[in-house]
């Protein structure tokens, strides 16, 4: 009689102990896929997009929406009205000024337009030779010169290239900037990849993530000052801070390897136990 109880219990314990190493995954999943607070909920239709992609709109209008759909903004739920204002839920009123519609920004207003969300970057940009010249004479680059407006992708050092950066001055100055950014950028990329791997394995990385994002955002806003010396000085600061995060991540990987060994061991132990219990109960039966 006993074996009918014991065997399922032992098997259950074995399964639970193996499952424990996966705990935390659900939370990670939920955090990863939470909607951003900016936009109307995903799946809801936007009158802006519906009307701007309708048949009576010209090809340039369709092109705007097509580009936006492939942008990093679209992936992050930043839609037409988040930049242009207006009322996406109300087709007849959506482009009224009373509903906050801003229209297409004039060139000189573009930095402020983007800067309502990218505040630290706007700040560095306005104080830079780029920002000052652009505001004064329109001869410097604005945000959309380097990033585009509807097809904006994740930023990286690749934006610094000869074709773009030699339009107004020699590429030499741009290249120096790229060299100054290089070390910290590569460290940031490695840490980012490692944290994603840890997360997939169900390891909590909140603390490291916070520190990482703070450094990451500060550092990448820094480019917009276009002050090569300042970037060089800050680079060694950031490199040190990132080394601390890096070593914590390496610790996590080591702990993870240990934990896996332990849970594999427990699992085998319980399998072994259930076989013993099973055989024992068999031999009782035969008596």
Residues 253-272 that bind ligand HEC (CB under 6 A): none
| One residue of 10, 14, 21, 81 binding ligand HEC per CB under 6 A | 81
The verdict on 152 binding ligand HEC (CB under 6 A) reads: yes
Angle at 219 between CA 211 and CA 74, to 5 degrees: 85
Distance CA 232, CA 212 (A): 19
- Residue 7 vs 159, nearer CB to ligand HEC: 159
In the bound complex, what is the minimum distance in angstroms from residue 18's beta carbon to ligand HEC?
Answer: 37
Q: Which has the closest alpha carbon to 147: 184, 173, 122, 181?
A: 122
Q: Which has the closest alpha carbon to 49: 23, 28, 74?
A: 74
Distance CA 127, CA 112 (A): 13
Rule CB under 6 A: which of 109-128 touch ligand HEC?
110-111, 113-118, 121-122, 125
Judged by CB under 6 A, the stretch of 1-9, 12-20, 169-177, 191-199 that binds ligand HEC is 169-177
Show the tokens assigned to 89: 């839920």
Contact 138, 108 (CB under 8 A): yes
In the bound complex, what is the minimum distance in angstroms from residue 212's beta carbon to ligand HEC?
Answer: 12
In the bound complex, what is the minimum distance in angstroms from residue 210's beta carbon to ligand HEC?
Answer: 15
The verdict on 180 binding ligand HEC (CB under 6 A) reads: no
Q: What is the radius of gyration, based on Cα positions, of the chain?
A: 28
In the bound complex, what is the minimum distance in angstroms from residue 171's beta carbon to ligand HEC?
Answer: 8
- Residue 149 vs 274, nearer CB to ligand HEC: 149
Binding track over 28-57 against ligand HEC, x by CB under 6 A? --------x-x--------xxx-xx-----
| One residue of 6, 18, 91, 273 binding ligand HEC per CB under 6 A | 91
- The overall longest dimension of the chain from CA atoms, in Å, is 101
| One residue of 7, 13, 159, 273 binding ligand HEC per CB under 6 A | 159
In the bound complex, what is the minimum distance in angstroms from residue 172's beta carbon to ligand HEC?
Answer: 9
The verdict on 167 binding ligand HEC (CB under 6 A) reads: yes
Q: What are phi and psi of 257, to 5 degrees?
A: -60, -40
Show the tokens assigned to 221: 């806003």
Ramachandran class of 47: left when φ > 0, alpha when ψ lies in -120 to 50, beta otherwise: alpha
In the bound complex, what is the minimum distance in angstroms from residue 163's beta carbon to ligand HEC?
Answer: 9
Distance CA 21, CA 23 (A): 6
Distance CA 78, CA 71 (A): 9
Rule CB under 6 A: which of 222-241 touch ligand HEC?
223-224, 226, 228
């Amino acid at each position: 009689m006993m074996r009918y109880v014991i065997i399922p219990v032992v098997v259950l314990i074995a399964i639970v102990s193996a499952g424990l190493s996966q705990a935390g995954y659900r939370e990670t999943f939920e955090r990863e896929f939470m909607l951003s607070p900016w936009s109307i909920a995903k799946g809801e239709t936007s009158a802006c997009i519906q009307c701007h992609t309708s048949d009576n709109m010209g090809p340039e209008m369709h092109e705007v929406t097509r580009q936006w759909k492939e942008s990093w903004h679209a992936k992050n739920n930043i839609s037409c009205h988040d930049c242009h204002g207006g009322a996406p839920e109300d087709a007849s009123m959506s482009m009224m000024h009373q509903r906050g519609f801003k229209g297409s920004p004039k060139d000189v207003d573009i930095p402020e337009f983007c800067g309502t969300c990218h505040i630290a970057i706007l700040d560095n940009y306005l104080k830079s030779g780029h920002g000052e010249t652009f505001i004064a004479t329109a001869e410097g680059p604005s945000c959309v010169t380097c990033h585009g407006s509807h097809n904006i992708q994740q930023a990286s050092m690749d934006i610094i290239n000869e074709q773009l950066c030699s339009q107004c001055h020699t590429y030499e100055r741009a290249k120096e900037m790229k060299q100054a950014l290089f070390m910290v950028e590569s460290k940031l990329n490695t840490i980012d990849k490692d944290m994603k791997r840890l997360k997939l394995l169900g390891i909590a990385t909140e603390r490291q993530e916070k520190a990482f994002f703070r450094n990451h955002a500060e550092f990448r806003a820094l480019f917009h000052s276009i002050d090569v010396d300042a970037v060089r000085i800050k680079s060694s600061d950031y490199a040190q801070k990132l080394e601390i995060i890096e070593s914590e991540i390496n610790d996590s990987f080591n702990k993870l390897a240990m934990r896996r060994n332990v849970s594999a061991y427990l699992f085998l132990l319980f399998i072994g136990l259930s076989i013993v219990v099973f055989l024992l109960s068999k031999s009782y039966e035969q008596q």
